[in-house]
């Protein structure tokens, strides 16, 4: 009795506390793609089947526990030393039921889901490429009107909120908000190419039902076809280092007409940035822009102050490289110089060539040389970066 009371109490407390947040998710979030709908369907079906098996077996056991007790003077029966045939027959019954459940009731729908999930090409109307890096996603549109659009998407939750010991009110979408959303047209099947630059990452939006590991040096594929306009959020789900919890995904699914407008606007914005690379910038503008770029991209490792986290992440304040020459006598950038390090990376230091544009690289280098406690005095112009890339 004592025991039953305890269990009852436990369950009551659990239910009461669960009721307190009634809108809580008890299952997969509402599906937004055919794949997620299929996954939810399969999941519900399998959960029901296994749930029934569990309850039936549990009921039999509980009956035995209460009926076949010594305290009730139940005398043990001797299982008739079963003839081998009987023994085999009895053990084959659960075997047969399970064979049916595993490979027919569960196995056939599972087969269709796999085939559907892996069919990335049929009827796909556009292709995007997603690149995971420590700790941000980069999106690139590979074909159609949007071809050439390419941008990086960073966590945008203010840093003080994610810092240790923050006591204030957190954003509504704490840790699930980014500066640049991926934008996709509703109803189109999008083939997704996935890769990474450093370690494994995994691009996962629960409402899309697709998740695929991004492997450096390889292209993996999946697809999404968002059916309902809206904003969808997800996270990286392959451990990728200390920033693993801080590389979310936000996708806006727009109706085709709005998507076209977005494409046009984005192209214009990128064209402007490219034009910026040809003009000569003032040191103040480079410094201001550089501070933003630095804090968004570099501060995770080198810290906002430039002090780094030695020995893993070197300080930039007083660093030989950040205070040394950028170009050699021949006008080419020096191997292991400041620009080389930022463009190409080394070991754990990422390569920024494909992530930042000319203006951003010029700004951040200028900022590192003249801010963060350094005072080299020179500036690097976007045009020089552009030339250096050739």
Partner 1 sequence: MSTTTVAHHEEHADHPSGIMRWLTTTNHKDIGTMYLTFSLIMFFIGGSMILAIRAELFQPGLQLLNPEFFNQLIGVHALIMIFAALMPAATGFANWMIPLQIGAPDMALPRLNNWGFWLLPPSAILLTLPFTLALFGIGDGALATGWTFYPPLSVQGGIGVDFAIFAVHLLGISSVLGSINIIVTLFNMRAPGMTLMKMPMFAWGWLITAFLLVATIPVLAGAVTMLLTDRHFGTHFFDAAGGGDPIMFQHLFWFFGHPEVYILLLPVWGFIPQILETFSRKPMYGYKAQVYSLWAIGALAVVVWAHHFFTAGMPVPALLYFMYSTMAISLPLAVLFFCWIKTMWKGSMSFETPMLFAVGWIILFGIGGLTGLVLADVAADAQYHNSYFVVAHFHYTLFAGGIMGIMAGTYYWLPKMTGHMYSEKLGKLHFWLTAISFNLTFIPQFFLGLAGMPRRIPDYALQFAEFNMISSIAAFVLGFSQLLFVYNIVSCARGGKKATDQVWEGAKGLEWTLPSPPPYHSFTEQPIIK
Binding string to ligand HEC for residues 296 to 315, with x set by CB under 6 A, is what?
-xx-xxx----------xx-
Query: CA end-to-end span of the chain, whole Å?
Result: 81
Are 293 and 363 a contacting pair, CB within 8 Å?
A: yes
Of 33 and 134, CB closest to ligand HEC: 134
Of 235 and 344, CB closest to ligand HEC: 344
Q: Which stretch, 3-11, 16-24, 78-86, 342-350, contacts ligand HEC (CB under 6 A)?
A: 342-350
Tell which one of 352, 358, 371, 384 touches ligand HEC (CB under 6 A): 352
Which entry of ligand HEC, Cu ion, partner 1, none binds 69, CB below 5 to 8 A by partner kind? partner 1
At its nearest, how many Å lie between partner 1 and the CB of residue 212? Answer: 6
Binding string to Cu ion for residues 172 to 211, with x set by CB under 5 A, is what?
-----------------------------x----------
CA angle 141, 243, 254 (to 5 degrees): 30
At its nearest, how many Å lie between Cu ion and the CB of residue 155? Answer: 12
- Residue 191: phi, psi to the nearest 5? -85, 130
DSSP state for residue 26 in the 8-state scheme: S
- The secondary element (H helix, E strand) that includes residue 99 is helix 84-100
Tell which one of 126, 127, 149, 240 touches Cu ion (CB under 5 A): 240
Instruction: Pick the closest to residue 158 from 369, 337, 299 (CA basis).
Output: 299
Residues shown for the chain: 390
CA angle 183, 185, 186 (to 5 degrees): 125
Position 343 contacts ligand HEC (CB under 6 A): no
Are 365 and 302 a contacting pair, CB within 8 Å?
A: no
Which entry of partner 1, ligand HEC, Cu ion, none binds 24, CB below 5 to 8 A by partner kind? partner 1
Cis peptide before 382 (omega within 30 of 0): no
Give CA–CA dist 203/214, Å, rounded.
Answer: 7
Give CA–CA dist 373/304, Å, rounded.
Answer: 11
Rounded to 10 degrees, the C-alpha dihedral 353/358/364/365 comes to 80
Residues of this chain, 357-386, that bind ligand HEC according to CB under 6 A:
364, 368
At its nearest, how many Å lie between partner 1 and the CB of residue 317? Answer: 19
At its nearest, how many Å lie between ligand HEC and the CB of residue 347? Answer: 4
Q: CA Rg, the chain, in Å?
A: 29
Of 189 and 302, CB closest to ligand HEC: 302
Rounded to 10 degrees, the C-alpha dihedral 177/178/182/184 comes to 30
At its nearest, how many Å lie between ligand HEC and the CB of residue 240? Answer: 10
Which entry of partner 1, ligand HEC, Cu ion, none binds 321, CB below 5 to 8 A by partner kind? ligand HEC
Of 88 and 288, CB closest to partner 1: 88
Two tokens, residue 87: 């023994």
Which entry of Cu ion, partner 1, ligand HEC, none binds 319, CB below 5 to 8 A by partner kind? ligand HEC
- The secondary element (H helix, E strand) that includes residue 281 is none
At its nearest, how many Å lie between ligand HEC and the CB of residue 130? Answer: 19
Q: Which stretch, 35-43, 110-118, 228-236, 337-345, contacts ligand HEC (CB under 6 A)?
A: 337-345
At its nearest, how many Å lie between partner 1 and the CB of residue 349? Answer: 11
Tell which one of 220, 244, 291, 386 touches Cu ion (CB under 5 A): 244
At its nearest, how many Å lie between ligand HEC and the CB of residue 329? Answer: 21
- The secondary element (H helix, E strand) that includes residue 205 is strand 201-205
At its nearest, how many Å lie between partner 1 and the CB of residue 366? Answer: 29
Give CA–CA dist 173/191, Å, rounded.
Answer: 28
Two tokens, residue 304: 């906002």
- Give the 3-state secondary structure of residue 8: helix
Residues of this chain, 134-163, that bind ligand HEC according to CB under 6 A:
134
Give CA–CA dist 189/79, Å, rounded.
Answer: 61
Tell me the CB-side half-sphere exposure of residue 337, using CA atoms within 13 A: 15
**Interface with Cu ion (CB under 5 A):** 201, 236, 240, 244
**Interface with ligand HEC (CB under 6 A):** 134, 297-298, 300-302, 313-314, 316, 319-322, 338, 341-342, 346-350, 352, 364, 368
């Amino acid at each position: 009795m004592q025991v039953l009371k305890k269990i009852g109490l436990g369950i009551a407390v659990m239910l009461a506390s669960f009721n307190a947040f009634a809108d809580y998710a008890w299952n997969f979030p509402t599906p937004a793609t055919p794949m997620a709908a299929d996954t939810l369907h399969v999941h519900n079906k399998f959960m029901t089947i296994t749930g029934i098996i569990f309850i039936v077996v549990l009921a039999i056991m509980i009956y035995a526990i209460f009926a076949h007790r010594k305290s009730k003077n139940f005398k043990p029966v001797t299982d008739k030393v079963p003839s081998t045939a009987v023994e085999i027959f009895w053990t084959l019954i659960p075997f047969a039921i399970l064979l049916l459940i595993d490979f027919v009731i569960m196995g056939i729908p599972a087969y269709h889901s796999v085939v559907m999930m892996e069919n990335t090409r049929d009827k796909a109307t556009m292709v995007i490429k997603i690149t995971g890096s420590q700790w941000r996603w980069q999106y690139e549109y590979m074909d159609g009107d949007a071809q050439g659009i390419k941008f990086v998407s960073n966590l945008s939750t203010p840093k003080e909120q994610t810092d240790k010991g923050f006591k204030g009110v957190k954003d509504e979408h704490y840790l699930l908000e980014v500066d640049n959303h991926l934008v996709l047209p509703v109803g189109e099947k999008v083939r997704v190419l996935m890769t990474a630059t450093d370690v494994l990452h995994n691009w996962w939006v629960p409402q899309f039902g697709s998740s695929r590991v991004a492997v450096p040096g390889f292209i993996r594929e999946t697809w999404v076809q968002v059916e309902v306009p809206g904003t969808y959020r997800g996270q990286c789900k392959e451990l990728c280092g200390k920033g693993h919890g801080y590389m979310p995904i936000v996708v806006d699914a727009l109706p085709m007409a709005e998507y076209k407008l977005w494409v046009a606007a984005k192209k214009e914005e990128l064209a402007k940035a490219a034009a910026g690379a040809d003009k000569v910038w003032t040191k103040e503008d480079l410094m201001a822009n550089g501070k933003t770029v630095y804090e968004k991209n570099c501060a995770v490792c080198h810290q906002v102050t430039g002090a780094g986290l030695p020995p893993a992440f070197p300080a930039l304040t007083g660093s030989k490289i950040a205070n040394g020459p950028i170009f050699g006598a021949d006008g080419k950038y020096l191997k292991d110089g400041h620009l080389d390090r930022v463009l190409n990376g080394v070991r754990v230091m990422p390569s920024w060539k494909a992530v930042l544009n000319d203006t951003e690289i010029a700004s951040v280098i200028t900022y590192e040389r003249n801010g963060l406690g350094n005072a080299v005095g020179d500036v690097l112009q976007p045009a020089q970066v552009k030339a250096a890339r050739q």
